[in-house]
Amino acid sequence: MLSHGKRWQYAFRAFFSLIFHGRIADDILAAFAAPAAAAVRVPAAPTPVEARVESRVESNDRAAQILAILQRDGRLVDFLMEDLGAYSNEQVGAAVRDVHRGCRQALDKYATLAPVFDAVEGSAVTVDAGSDAARVKVVGNAAGSPPFRGVLRHRGWDATRLELPPLPATGRSVLAPAEVEIP
């Protein structure tokens, strides 16, 4: 079983890996390996969320906007940029609860997320021919052609709703402004 700190490290790495690369690193998937259970079929792809982003808006602007929202509501960037070596596990754990609560509330406000697989991680699943590669990533020894039978390492996440506020006209790369208090 993984330590509490290691699980948090994997959670943050998986979150940003999904945002910026669209996948979870193989070492993270391997760390959460579990014994096989009952077989589950790949669910059909839902109707895609309609994009409301203007064509002039760069995807990097939206990525920066998401980071800015997570910073504003959960202080995520502050937490990730802090050197935690000087703090006790109890202090880090207390800080993580606040960061988690704020970031979770931000996600709930701007997005609706649903698992790609409605099955328990570690259960046996079948990936049929024609499955959407954006929804299901086959890892490991995937020789030949589908159907593939394997173990669900991560249920995946599907954004069924994503409604970000309009982008500000300027300062898109500023995740959080510097704060100067005048005495």
* φ and ψ of 70, to 5 deg: -65, -30
How far CA 87 is from CA of 70, 92, 104, in Å, comes to: 23, 6, 24
pTM over 0.75: no
Contacts of 170 (CB under 8 A, 6+ apart): none
In degrees, rounded to 5, the angle at the alpha carbon of residue 41 between the alpha carbons of residues 38 and 43 is 135
* φ and ψ of 12, to 5 deg: -65, -45
Q: Say what the pLDDT of residue 50 is.
A: 43
Q: Say what the pLDDT of residue 142 is.
A: 81
Q: Say what the pLDDT of residue 53 is.
A: 38
Averages of pLDDT over runs of 10 residues in the chain (183 residues) are: 62 65 68 54 54 50 88 92 91 92 95 92 91 90 87 93 82 78 88
Q: Say what the pLDDT of residue 174 is.
A: 80
Q: Say what the pLDDT of residue 14 is.
A: 67
Q: Say what the pLDDT of residue 165 is.
A: 87
Q: Report strand pairing: 124-127 vs 148-151.
A: antiparallel
* Cα–Cα distance measured from residue 40 to residue 148, given in angstroms and rounded to the nearest whole number: 12
* Cα–Cα distance measured from residue 172 to residue 169, given in angstroms and rounded to the nearest whole number: 8
* Cα–Cα distance measured from residue 5 to residue 50, given in angstroms and rounded to the nearest whole number: 37
Question: Taking the domains of the chain in order of start, what are their residue ranges?
Answer: 4-162
Residue 150's nearest CA partner among 35, 27, 25, 44 is: 35
Angle between helices 89-110 and 4-21 (to 10 degrees): 30
